[in-house]
Amino acid sequence: MRALLILVVAAQFGGPVAAEVALTDVVSERGLKGFVTVDRLPVPAEPVLQQGRTVWEGTCMACHGGNKATGAPKITATKKWESRIAQGLPTLIEHAVQGFVGKTYSEMPARGGNPDLTDEQIASAVAFMVWASGGRDAALHFITTEKE
């Protein structure tokens, strides 16, 4: 009887649960196809990056999820992010906090247009976006050295 119960429970919970997404499944040259909603992105182990993921969902996703009209580099697309990541996280964070107009004259609004976000929240969102766009090592290095 008990064994049967366990079997039934296992069938219910071991069934069609959405497979956990891995970083390697989402990051590529052109990134994920279509608009990238947060549920398509992996959940990092590090609390700072988890916070960044939440901030990203609330403020950054609208453009960085792949809104072509805005000219925002799409999350997960390494081709769009490589040269940006090469500038280093402090520069990227400064651009995200203060706002930034790049070579194509598309505008990254200060704090993503959300003045309520603190510098720390912006930094975590940038670190998350870098982490999920080919800059995993750079993001992890940044969050561990920042803490010291």
Rounded to the nearest angstrom, the gap between the alpha carbon of residue 19 and the centroid of all alpha carbons in its chain is: 19
Q: Is 6 in the site for ligand HEC (CB under 6 A)?
A: no
Residue in 32, 36, 72, 140 binding ligand HEC, rule: CB under 6 A: 72
Q: Is 122 in the site for ligand HEC (CB under 6 A)?
A: yes
Residue in 54, 82, 106, 120 binding ligand HEC, rule: CB under 6 A: 106
Q: Smallest gap, in angstroms, from Cβ of residue 36 to ligand HEC? A: 13
Q: Is 133 in the site for ligand HEC (CB under 6 A)?
A: no
Distance CA 132, CA 43 (A): 10
Residue in 47, 88, 90, 102 binding ligand HEC, rule: CB under 6 A: 102
CB-based contacts of 72-75 (< 8 A; 24+ apart in sequence): 72/106, 72/108, 73/133, 74/31, 74/36, 75/31, 75/36, 75/41, 75/129, 75/132, 75/133
Give the Cα-Cα-Cα angle 50, 68, 74 (nearest 5 degrees): 30
Q: Are 20 and 126 in contact (CB under 8 A)?
A: no
Q: Is 132 in the site for ligand HEC (CB under 6 A)?
A: no
Residue in 27, 32, 48, 126 binding ligand HEC, rule: CB under 6 A: 126
Applying the rule CB under 6 A, the residues between 40 and 59 that interact with ligand HEC are 55, 59
Distance CA 33, CA 48 (A): 27
Note the residues at the interface with ligand HEC (CB under 6 A).
55, 59-60, 62-64, 70-73, 84, 87, 92, 95-96, 100-102, 104, 106-109, 112-113, 117, 122, 125-126, 129
